[in-house]
Amino acid sequence: MNKIVKWIISFVGILVLSVTFSSTASANRVHDGFPAPIQGRYWRTTVNQGTNSVPRHMYFYAVKDGFVIKNTATGTIRCKWMIYTHDYTTYVLNGSENNDLSKVVWVFITPDKNWKTVKIGYKITGINGEPKYPAIHYQHYTATSVSKVTAIVH
């Protein structure tokens, strides 16, 4: 009788663990458009390119049908056809670049202090490419919230 109870407990334990791990490892849902917390938000960060260079400001914001990253090293990046997923506290946005549809822009946003500041970063890959590292690897910038006028004018 003791042996049967041990087998039943072992079987139930293995069953519970397999269900737990299978639900944790499942993929997150992917949504079209923009997450509600990102819509209508504008952020600015200061970027130093070197010891003797003048610091410049980069701006990040969502428009009606895309995401804009202004004043990057290669100019302004505009993305359309955005999809996103939300993993723990990080939003991962994915969209095609307007100027070159063979390039995909990945934007990583982690809110801090109730969206007053965000850790933000981006990665540009080929159309079938994807980032090799976790989001934190690409989030080089800490951006603060600014007004719509400031972000669009600059």
Q: Is residue 79 a contact partner of residue 98, using CB atoms and an 8 Å limit?
A: yes
Tell me the pLDDT tens digit for each residue of 50-105.
777 788 889 998 877 788 888 888 888 888 778 888 888 899 989 898 888 889 99
pLDDT at 25: 39
Indicate the domain borders of the chain: 31-153
pLDDT at 52: 72
Q: Is residue 107 a contact partner of residue 90, using CB atoms and an 8 Å limit?
A: no
Q: Which residue has the higher pLDDT, 52 or 116?
A: 116
CA nearest neighbour of 36 among 95, 96, 109: 109
Tell me the pLDDT tens digit for each residue of 7-62.
677 666 565 556 555 444 344 688 787 788 888 888 999 888 777 778 888 999 88
CATH topology of domain 31-153: Lipocalin (2.40.128)
Q: Which residue has the higher pLDDT, 153 or 11?
A: 153
pTM for this prediction: 0.74
pLDDT at 138: 92
Distance, in Å, from the CA atom of 11 to the CA atom of 71, rounded to the nearest integer, reads 59
Taking residue 110's Cβ as centre, other Cβ atoms within 10 Å add up to 19
Distance, in Å, from the CA atom of 107 to the CA atom of 100, rounded to the nearest integer, reads 17
Q: Is residue 61 a contact partner of residue 69, using CB atoms and an 8 Å limit?
A: no
pLDDT at 81: 76
H-helix or E-strand containing 76?
strand 75-87
Please list, residue by residue across 111-144, b when 16 or more beta carbons sit within 10 angstroms of its beta carbon and e when fewer do. beeeeebbbbbbbbeeeeeebeeebeebbebebe
Distances (CA, A) of 58 to 71, 79, 121: 5, 16, 11
pLDDT at 22: 47
pLDDT at 26: 41
pLDDT at 19: 52
